Structure 1
Amino acid sequence: MSACFVFCCTITVLLMFSVEGESCSEGTLTDGAEDCCYGLVKIGNICKACPAGYFGKNCSNPCPLQLYGPDCTQICYCSYCHPVYGCDARNDTATQTFRTFEISTSISDELNDSKTKMDAMTQEPSKMMTINVPDEVKDLKRIIIISCGTLISVALLLLMIREIRRYTLL
């Protein structure tokens, strides 16, 4: 019983500290907190979501190529993608260029018979696709940790009740 009890207590304490360390939300910073979490930026004493077109710690990273919008969750299907607004609406004839490479070599004379053919194809931009990550998925780690901590706490409580009953019956 004592080894199991010590193990369960250790796991519970570790889980409680990890849950406290992961508690991040938009809003006023609490006492002692210096930085905002990933995806938030500190403005005065308040943590706010990154502006459209930026992501990361302190919103310091612009969206990667072909992605734009809040949390960089929207995809562009055009030749130029603005990190905040996406495809340029003024350029109605925007096209996306694809290049295909075909390389063939001859065994007898590799240098002379090598050829590279590049074809450029164009495709009209299609509708933009939005990828939204539900809030439930963002908090999945926290939910799992809290659930495990609760289960371990209940198991510890049941073990303690069993031990108390065992000693009181003796």
Structure 2
Amino acid sequence: MNNHEIYAQALFVVILLYSVHIICSDDGKHCEGRKDGCCEGYMFNDTLGECTECKTGYFGENCSMPCPPGYYGQGCKLSCNCLTDECDLVLGCERDKATNAATVYRTSVQAPVREKGREMSPYSLMAKVLIGHVILLCFVIMAHAALCIIKRHSK
């Protein structure tokens, strides 16, 4: 095993360990550079002294935004299957209001709720970090392959 192979393998191990560390340590709650330190979809709870998920029916930075019309639930990820004015932020579609019985129609949303073109999913940061690491790993593998080809041709 030559020096190039040792360096390539060492770099691969370092990148792999760093990736695992980033993915495992990111709880999705804490974000650097934020005034209160909480990510979008979370707000600082003074009583608990930590970032907590937005109340049902709210999303965004510091949980300051109600779900947009037609969406409801935790993180506003569910779509109402009724008229917009019948869609409750927490329960979704309410039927039979005279008897106070609520029927909730839950449907999955194909696209995440967006604010000013940004995804509101708490997992979006983790996904971006993971994709970045996969791309970096591909470059490392291609560089290693290029070194091997150059080495073979120089003999």
Q: TM-score, normalised by structure 1?
A: 0.47
Provide the identity percentage. 25
- Distance in 2 (alpha carbons) for counterparts of 1:93 and 1:140: 44
Change beyond 3 A, Cα 1:127–1:37: closer
Runs (5+) with no aligned partner, structure 1: 1-15, 95-125
- Greater Cα offset, 81-90 or 149-158: 81-90
- Distance in 1 (alpha carbons) for counterparts of 2:96 and 2:88: 12
Change beyond 3 A, Cα 1:153–1:68: same
The one of 143, 147, 150 equivalent to 1:156 is 143
CA-atom RMSD in angstroms: 4.1
- Distance in 2 (alpha carbons) for counterparts of 1:132 and 1:65: 14
Q: Which amino acid is 2:65 matched to?
A: N
Runs (5+) with no aligned partner, structure 2: 1-17, 113-120
- Distance in 1 (alpha carbons) for counterparts of 2:90 and 2:129: 30
1:68 counterpart = 2:55: no
- Distance in 2 (alpha carbons) for counterparts of 1:84 and 1:164: 63
- Distance in 2 (alpha carbons) for counterparts of 1:76 and 1:59: 24
Larger-Rg structure = 1
- Count residues in correspondence: 115
Q: Secondary structure at the match of 1:51?
A: coil
Equivalent positions of 1:48-59 (< 5 A) are 48-59=52-63
- Distance in 2 (alpha carbons) for counterparts of 1:40 and 1:24: 14
Determine the structure 2 residue equivalent to 1:130. Answer: 107
Query: For 1:102-135, what per-residue CA distance to the aligned partner results, in whole angstroms no more than 9, with x for missing partners?
Result: xxxxxxxxxxxxxxxxxxxxxxxx9623216799
Determine the structure 2 residue equivalent to 1:36. Answer: 38
Determine the structure 1 residue equivalent to 2:97. Answer: 91
Q: Secondary structure at the match of 1:25?
A: coil
Query: For 1:127-167, what per-residue CA distance to the aligned partner results, in whole angstroms no more than 9, with x for missing partners?
Result: 623216799x8454444322211100111222334445666
- Distance in 2 (alpha carbons) for counterparts of 1:77 and 1:92: 17
Q: TM-score, normalised by structure 2?
A: 0.51
